Amino acid sequence: MTDILIEDGRTLLGEDTGQSSVSISQGCISAVGASQGRSAFSLDAGGLLVLPGIVDLHGDAFERQMMPRPHVDFPIDIALIDSDRQAIANGITTVFHATTWSWEPGLRCGDNAQKLLEAIEALRPKLAADTRFHLRHETYNLDAEEQIGEWLADGRIDLFAFNDHTENTVTLLNKPNKRGSMVERTGLSDEAFDRLLESILSRADAVPASIARLAAIARGAGVRMLSHDDNSPEMRKTFRELGVTIAEFPVNEATAREAAAGGDAIVCGAPNVVRGGSHIGWTRASDMIANGLCSVLASDYYYPAPLLAAFRLAADGVLPLARAWDLISAAPAQATGLADRGRLAEGQRADILLVDDREPLRPRIVAVIVAGRLVHLTEAERLTTSHAPQHQALSAE
């Protein structure tokens, strides 16, 4: 693997940024500080910020590459490769594709979840970002329990979330402007969808026991768990008792306070920060952050959002940039059990960004390094090679 020296950037070290060089060897950071001499490659980071790569524990924007319009689908491998390019270009070096397995047919059906899992496993060595599988289990999808239990036990799921959109589905079906798009996504007629939903709701009493069984399997397999859209402190407590330590998008402040009191990671959407509020009228993420009720930001449905959100928080005076950056790098790494990334320190995995921050609120990714590999560069003149023999300078994994 090629050694790289990043020279003279404004490097994020702890709570501050300082002029420094970063040496990379064998996929890890080998030194931070004064230049340690020449490497096979050198990157001139003059005038740029040098930051840890973004860890995105919940992103489902890949669905738009799979199905850009209703009933217009593309092969999953093409969708994944395109999503990988988008993630990398926006500084996301570790990406958890949040894949919903619902009781609905269509885009979020079981067949698609299985195909996506298999595609990630097959393509992982070819993708630039460290690509992982985050399964969002719709808890009323009782027929999926056995298969999901096997995937958990076999270590094929990297993050496991409990979702329940069933009640929300019932509410939205009574709104004509929402009903059409929801039913269209499934490919069913109105009547067929209503019959399916009635059947699903009839099994509600079996849902809590199914959740408990799957949580036990996940705990045994060491898989981190999330609960999605917790709507009350009691709901958060119940999930915590099952070992679910990540509260993903709590819908109100009382629930978030319960999560914080219990030491849980609290995930909010980075698009909420960038846009100045929730697109569905829920709590403003920047207010939650200011009140200590959000520890992680995720891209949710928009890959550019984490990068933009960190700089927005700093510009608005909500947090210093170093602490804002923790929300999209060190904190999600910790929440997902990835202790080898999220900080620029000796021995850490070399997931590193070079960012041009001269234009307010419009940070621009100049270079991306993932596990010591330069995978994205927009200014080729910043790259130089040493006088080492050609075979050494060009060596790779």
Q: Which residue has the higher pLDDT, 237 or 180?
A: 237
pLDDT tens digits along 99-128: 999 998 888 899 999 999 999 999 999 999
The fraction of the chain above a pLDDT of 70, given in percent, is 93
Between CA 229 and CA 43, with CA 309 as vertex, the angle to 5 degrees is: 130
Q: Which residue has the higher pLDDT, 282 or 371?
A: 371
Do residues 303 and 275 both lie within one domain?
yes
pLDDT computed for residue 392 by the predictor: 39
pLDDT computed for residue 328 by the predictor: 98
Do residues 202 and 283 both lie within one domain?
yes
Beta bridge partners of 132: 96
* Confidence band of 179 (pLDDT split at 50, 70, 90): confident
pLDDT tens digits along 54-107: 999 999 999 888 888 877 889 999 999 999 999 999 999 999 999 999 998 888
Do residues 190 and 279 both lie within one domain?
yes
* Confidence band of 165 (pLDDT split at 50, 70, 90): confident
Q: Which residue has the higher pLDDT, 175 or 381?
A: 381
Do residues 41 and 71 both lie within one domain?
no
* Confidence band of 35 (pLDDT split at 50, 70, 90): low
Q: Is the pLDDT of residue 183 over 70?
A: yes
pLDDT computed for residue 191 by the predictor: 87
Residue 107 Cα distances to 20, 111, 268, angstroms: 47, 9, 24
pLDDT tens digits along 249-307: 999 999 999 999 999 999 999 999 999 877 666 678 999 999 999 999 999 999 999 99
Last residue of a domain, one of 313, 335, 357: 335
Do residues 164 and 102 both lie within one domain?
yes
Residue 383 main-chain phi, psi, to 5 deg: -100, 130
pLDDT computed for residue 71 by the predictor: 77
Do residues 234 and 359 both lie within one domain?
no
Do residues 379 and 254 both lie within one domain?
no
Beta bridge partners of 44: 7
Q: In which residue are the tokens 């270590």 written?
A: 155
What is 16-40 written as a DSSP string? EEEEEEEEEETTEEEEEES--S--S
Mean pLDDT of 4-12: 95
Q: Is the pLDDT of residue 26 over 50?
A: yes
Q: Is the pLDDT of residue 396 over 60?
A: no
Do residues 218 and 165 both lie within one domain?
yes
pLDDT computed for residue 38 by the predictor: 64
Tell me the residue range of the domain where 11 lies.
4-52+343-393
Do residues 269 and 378 both lie within one domain?
no
**Token pair recorded at residue 344:** 């620029």
- Spell out a b/e string for 256-270, using b for 16 or more CB atoms within 10 Å of the CB, else e: bbbbbeeebbbbbbb
Q: Whole-number mean pLDDT of the chain?
A: 91
Last residue of a domain, one of 287, 308, 335: 335
Do residues 91 and 204 both lie within one domain?
yes
Do residues 20 and 103 both lie within one domain?
no
Do residues 43 and 134 both lie within one domain?
no
Structural domains of the chain, count = 2
pLDDT tens digits along 313-350: 999 999 999 999 999 999 999 999 999 999 999 999 99
What CATH number is given to the structural domain containing 282? 3.20.20.140
